[in-house]
Structure 1
Amino acid sequence: MNAPIRSLPLAAQSSKPLAPSLERWRLRMYLTLLVADLLCILGGFFMARAVYQMAWPATLLMMEAQLLLPVYTTIALYQSTYSIKALLEPRFAIKRALLALLVASALLIFVTFYAKSTAYFSRVTFTLGLLFSGAAMVAFRLALLWLVRLTWGPRVVNVLLINDGGPEVKLSNSLVIDAAEHGLLADTTDPHNLDRLGRYLQNMDRVVVSCSVARRPAWVFVLRAAGVRGEVVSGSLQKLAPLGMEVEGDCISLIVSTGPLGLRARAVKRAFDLAVAGTALFVLAPVLLLVALAIKLEDRGPIFFTQRRLGRGNRFFQMLKFRSMKVEGADADGNRSASRGDDRVTAVGRFLRRTSLDELPQLINVLIGDMSVVGPRPHALGSQAGDKLFWEVDGHYWNRHALRPGLTGLAQVRGFRGATDHENDLRGRLRADLEYISRWSPYRDVMILLRTLRVMVHQKAF
């Protein structure tokens, strides 16, 4: 919560800073975590030998631990295992440490395999060593972060918010002062004024100034001269919500949008899609053939139904489904949603819809890159919630197309399926779709896919 300063602080009257420096303290915490991790690895392998073989660690076993140490340290430093966020969020701290340990152990196994040294390693002892090491690292982090919170509170960085007649701003865990009340001016003509301001800025990791448009250039100049990370609030930019700024020559532009996933994340997601869709098509080939035969025998009509839907980047693509309606009842734009007792649905189609088997041909869409295994479900163009088109209900609807549409998604496993008779039916699934996009991870894709198996048969399919 904000911590406003009501009276003139000592920083304005003496050489004492407004707040103690947290930078050196953070560096000590990072070093403490690093040394503790190394000791946890050595101790974990020591315990593994003692527990499994009831003996003191052999030279070879300790060599495994010693080989693991530099690899772990390199990977941990690379992926921000020791960072400000690791001091604030226990889940993040534990996740990064365990991930670094797993990757380091995998690399060590890979190298020793090619060096033909794995035959000399005890697999059970090595596995136990990793388990003991990981458990010790988790326990130490929980204890350290509890101690940090108890000693320093929720603030591990010093943030100073200076109000100088600009838009009202609220920053969590910040020191807040009023420039007029404390006599602070963005004046570079008076060394005494700069000295006064400099003592306020001492030990600050981040300084945010909210001032009028006319005073912004002066504050920018002062903050740059002070050598601090300075920010100036701009009320006119709040509606644009820029993500950053790009400077190229004389062109200065605001970054207002970016893709939700980076190159590495997109590659991981695509590899997951190909692996799952390819395997599913191979395993389910007999089921696909039986369904196709049943559709053909019922009314001699086409096996597949294609419908134009919106995909990634709000671009159209042709989505495949097993035909579940009579040929004359096909609706290419989806202007009429299926309903309970819909006379357009065939007998075979009713079973396919109830069991979600009609969606299986979309595995082909996944292979060719139009869709993903997990993502926001693509909607027909004419789909309505109540008496409004989906995008008329909520303008954020278009944001759900930042990723490829999926066979299943977070909205589906949360029960947002079937007809959208009311506007709230859309809003619920839209919130889930946008949450999925903003919080995507490979682990979440796997969990959504597993949860989908439990809801394939549902009562909201007509």
Structure 2
Amino acid sequence: MNEIEPPHRFSINAVRKVDAGSPGQPVKLNKVALQVASQYRRDTMSPIMVSGVMRLVEFMLLFLPGFALFAFHVGLTTHLFWHYPVIIGAASLLMVILLEFNDLYQISALMRPLSSFGRIVLMWSATFALLALAGFFLKISEGFSRLLFGSWFLIGLALIFGLRLFLSRVIRQWARNGRMERRAVIVGGGKSAEALIRSVEQQPYNDIRICGIFDDRDDKRSPPIVAGYPKLGNVSELIEFARIARIDMLIVSLPITAEARVLQLLKKLWVLPVDIRLSAHSNQLQFRPRSYSFIGSVPMLDIFDKPINDWDSVAKRAFDIIFSLFGIIVFSPVMLATAIAIKLDSKGPVLFKQKRHGFNNEIVEVYKFRSMYTDMSDPSAKKSVTKNDPRVTRVGRIIRKTSIDELPQFFNSLFGSLSLIGPRPHAIAAQSHNLLYNEVVDGYFARHRVKPGVTGWAQINGWRGEMDTDEKIRMRTEYDLFYIENWSLWLDLKILCLTPVRLLNTENAY
């Protein structure tokens, strides 16, 4: 059959338009599903992170011995004092780039160093050949030590190969004890799921750990055991399962031609912070290779990717730590003055801790300056604060208007329970007209696919303060979802810079 392009790419908007009915009551997992979920509570090491760190380590493993040879053999006082480090650094970087182009940082290559030894020697030799050619054409090779570069060639090759031999053992051990794996759940049972599982398990050096199967169909249409894996529940129970277990990927084992059913499933699953893939191993339609991602040689269609993942999460965490420390230092006089004012104004503690929904619906404690009378405080936020609310103290009115009450959340961001920028976390019992927020907005919990923030895109666009109407909740959710889908460090920096300016508008802050 001729190769064709996909009929369309599934989008969040397409999924959200599917009518999934009103939100139901929280589901409970059966005993087996709960036991399996508890086995996967611990985070795993990402293969992407491991290979990324390997690039940095190998660069340093080449550069440092080369620089040490230069310092001891040639000396730092030579007239070529800056030429040697530049050339050594450029050659080290070139080697890493060549290894990358030859897929030698893939986990399968790192696990088999002996099979890739020839290519490593070839790439290291090519690096020196390019150095020699550059020196010849630039007519500068006479001034450089051939003994130094010959020694560096042998030492660098031995170090790289020795590191890879050691790392291959470590990676195999990590794979055996579950420290480095991608955990997957199969959505949809029957023969198609069995064929998918068999195909995945046959892949050499497979890092996929299948945790179980979830299917809405009964046992007659979907057997309770498929290829040795138990059916742990239905799709609604999968949501709760993924709140407990650290799952990386959901693989939907349904034909792409069953579009209506696929969309119905995605309507429930897109709120989870995981990669969602549609299995294409048994589809008769054949797409172009660039349309697929692969688990070994098993083709998958990418539906959703986990937001802010791998190196993006590292960059965002570094952003949080740097700017949280900066905020604590800059605003420490304001926080000290506020603490004194609260203590003088009314009895009770200075700080107020409130339980809120965090990443993946986990419960986190958020710090605030106390703005209410202690005997009238509402830790669950079941009743929203309104204009001239008698529960709010005199100092509380000022610090709520100016958002000074939120300043202790710099510490939440520093310690990691919040991010500096992200969807604002709401109290777990926050309501609008006696309805919980997730009952007002379908897909509300998709806000929790990333870590919540001290400030966010919704706040700088005017959606802060009292959420007294369903429309305000919907609009805040829309802006939060826009942020998640369009995240970048530049967007975070923009939000951070605009937050002090937008806080001057205190219309909805009581």
* Normalised TM-score (structure 2): 0.44
* Normalised TM-score (structure 1): 0.49
Larger relative contact order (Cα-Cα within 8 Å, sequence gap ≥ 6): 2
